[in-house]
Amino acid sequence: RLSEEIKTLKTKIDDEEAARLLKAAEETADTDLVTFATTRRRKMLDEIDALDPDAPDYRDQVANVQAQADRDIVKKSQTVVAAPPAPASASAASPPAGGDATAASPTIPVDTEKVISYVKEKISAPDIGLDKDDEFFWLMTQQAPDKDQTGNALPLDEQIRWAADQTINYRSRILGHDRTRQLDDAARTAEGNRKRDMPLGRHATDNPPAKEADNKPVSLADAVDSAKNMRRL
The DSSP H or E segment spanning 122 is helix 110-123
Say what percent of the chain tops pLDDT 90. Answer: 12
Is the distance from CB of 36 to CB of 28 less than 8 angstroms?
Answer: no
Is the distance from CB of 59 to CB of 42 less than 8 angstroms?
Answer: no
3-state SS assignment for residue 53? coil
Q: Is the pLDDT of residue 43 over 90?
A: yes
More confident of the two residues 67 and 31? 67
Residue type at 160?
A: I
Closest CA to 71 of 122, 37, 113: 37
Average pLDDT of the chain, as a whole number:
69
Is the distance from CB of 75 to CB of 214 less than 8 angstroms?
Answer: no
More confident of the two residues 111 and 128? 128
Lowest mean per-residue pLDDT among 64-78, 173-187, 205-219: 205-219
More confident of the two residues 233 and 82? 233
Closest CA to 146 of 27, 15, 3: 15
Question: Which segment, 55-69, 78-92, 102-116, is predicted with the most confidence on average?
Answer: 55-69
Q: Is the pLDDT of residue 231 over 60?
A: no
**CA gap 185, 146 in Å, rounded:** 31
Q: pTM score, two decimals?
A: 0.42
**Residue 141, pLDDT score:** 83
Residue type at 224?
A: V
**Residue 166, pLDDT score:** 85
The DSSP H or E segment spanning 5 is helix 2-49
Q: How confident is the model at residue 228 (pLDDT cuts 50, 70, 90)?
A: low
**Residue 107, pLDDT score:** 40
The predicted model gives 121-148 an average pLDDT of: 84
**CA gap 206, 57 in Å, rounded:** 47
**Residue 93, pLDDT score:** 37
